[in-house]
Structure 1
């Protein structure tokens, strides 16, 4: 599905134009436990903006486990909490406050879901990963929990000549209990890691939800990364681990580029043609993951970047 936003043209604002496309496949699972959010203009959720901020955009993928309730709760509530906590008025350090806002929004969403989950009979035991991209003007903040990922395709100069190369930049970090720091935190809290899982069951070491594991070192504090958009940037991929079970990040970027390459000659004549190419690339990437044997849910958000 192609979801164009109502963002102003770059010539009007100086900011990059971002267009998001999404593809979701249930795979062989009985239930679709993923959720996603695409908000090219988060400004509409804000009563007022910080004086230095002209544009806010938000894109997120949530990969649920144990059910779909945690992923859908996070998809419905996290960006509203983020909007409420976003810095307003005059501040000294916007970057520091945006980072704090993201961490606080994750914690609040986790607390709110666990409160709701514990009030049910029987208690909900759902959990979800989260990879959220918040665009503030042309600064991109990625906050993630678990094993969903965000990557950036960027073109860089190679040497002193005019040759350019494509690089794939990781904008997220996987949180698995096999990682040393994650495992140590879980063990210090009284948990154990067996067969690469918390208590031999949970595959991730950070999540929203999973109330039964929170006392054993599973936390909801996201990793944060920041980058600034440049004219060398081509697109972002945000996706759940269903994609990355059968694609490396570099392979996913190469696959998208191979779909886009056939239509590059038409782009200068027709912007709609360019967006149709990105839409096709997004859909084909998700379908190819299923074709390669991924039995898990697959959700892919492909965000094109145009200056």
Structure 2
């Protein structure tokens, strides 16, 4: 086995910072962030803010000596699908990469997405009779894999990656590196209509353009009711479609690109659509170039919130105060998650194995709470980071990457490792992601989407925030 892969599969369990993220001052303005951390070829900054009553976004960064995995996941209908992707996609990627002898390729990513989709659909199949609304849960997925000088991007949905750098060494430019798979785009609608010429209502405008009048994104993990006839939700009014589907009208195959990084490529921004709803590609580029690097992801979110506040005829201070009454901010702005990655051209192989997870079960709706002080840290437990079992990929449990404590977040006890509680990720079973328990999975209440606790698939506690591991 190649040396880096052996290191990747052995968890040493050294906590990054036992107190990081447990102090209220770590989260000014209720924006959860990791201001600046190392990756295999430079530095990166992460941040997240809640728009929904319970955040539906997830993200993580996993650094190995050979490269870095960046994941941004934007759930809809609740957080069950985005949590499932957080728990399974990187695990599948690791195992498939191992099976490929450590040789990175488009196919490794494609197969990791496919297996994650298949696992989630199988979970839906097992629970559909008890909780039919589980078939309406889905997640957009944006992944970047930095592998030496190669940057692989895989995208489903309308998260977006934007690169900033010099063109021909002279003129600065920013450029979108991914396509938004959203029915608002005429090109995307045309693509969908050409793929389904026998389905005249494949896209309908109900306020905005939507697939079958229901879903804005045209590619996702989950959303089984728009992929398989067996998951019809015509008994639930909000998901009813006039003409039942006979084949998938929403795709789960990612659009994958490979870019060889040039010395003039300076940074890339990965973000959920909540950020891009408020800031243009050019605005984001100018902010990243013009503001200090530490905390730049948090800076982007604050600028986006200022724009959202202005649009809604309020001040930024008034917007911040909405958290004090635990009010849903969704009418004003969406959840926002941002990862800013700087390319400093450091040689790969200099960094240890590191995993950063932001929003494992979503930031707390209590602005004074920050994340929970429940112990997670790093651990040789199979529910935290890569496993010492080489057959398991990243973890011998399907809950890899997430703490097994329902109150995920950095531990206040540096020796604690991960909690042995089973209320993490989705469940301690391999069918994590949905459960009849109130701590996991969609609710049988069809109006609730996934669960009466909007942290479906993760935990009934909203106190999570940032989970940091050094391996």
Instruction: Tell me which interval the TM-score lies in, with the shorter structure as reference length.
Output: 0.7 to 0.9
Residue 339 (structure 2) aligns with: 301
Does 204-213 or 294-303 show the bigger shift?
Answer: 294-303
Q: What 5-or-longer segments of structure 2 have no aligned partner?
A: 1-33, 228-246, 309-331, 346-471
Q: Which residues in structure 2 correspond to 1:186-197 (within 5 Å)? A: 186=196, 188=198, 192-195=202-205, 196-197=209-210
Residue 94 (structure 2) aligns with: 83
Does 188-197 or 239-248 show the bigger shift?
Answer: 188-197
Residue 208 (structure 1) aligns with: 221
Residue 182 (structure 1) aligns with: 192
Matched, 1:66 2:90: no
Residue 122 (structure 1) aligns with: 131
In 2 relative to 1, CA 220–6 (structure 1 residues): closer, same or farther, beyond 3 Å? closer
More strand as a share of residues: 1
Q: Which residues in structure 2 correspond to 1:104-253 (within 5 Å)? A: 104-120=111-127, 121-123=130-132, 124=134, 125-157=136-168, 164-177=170-183, 178=186, 179=188, 180-186=190-196, 188=198, 192-195=202-205, 196-214=209-227, 215-253=247-285
Q: Distance in 2 between matches of 1:190 and 1:87?
A: 44
Q: Is the 8 A contact 1:189 1:217 kept in 2?
A: no
Residue 37 (structure 2) aligns with: 4
Does 141-150 or 114-123 show the bigger shift?
Answer: 114-123
CA RMSD of aligned residues (A): 2.1
Q: Distance in 2 between matches of 1:250 and 1:129?
A: 23
Residue 51 (structure 1) aligns with: none
Q: Compare relative contact order (CA 8 Å, sep 6+) and give the higher one, 1 or 2.
A: 2
Q: Distance in 2 between matches of 1:188 and 1:57?
A: 43
Q: Distance in 2 between matches of 1:81 and 1:56?
A: 16
Q: Say which one has the larger Rg.
A: 2
Q: 1:256 aligns with which of 288, 295, 313?
A: 288
Does 240-249 or 285-294 show the bigger shift?
Answer: 285-294
Task: Name the count of aligned residue pairs.
Answer: 259
In 2 relative to 1, CA 186–292 (structure 1 residues): closer, same or farther, beyond 3 Å? farther
More helix as a share of residues: 1
Render the CA deviation track for 1:109-154: whole Å, top value 9, x for unaligned.
0110111123222131210001100112110000000110111111
- Give the structure-1-normalised TM-score: 0.78
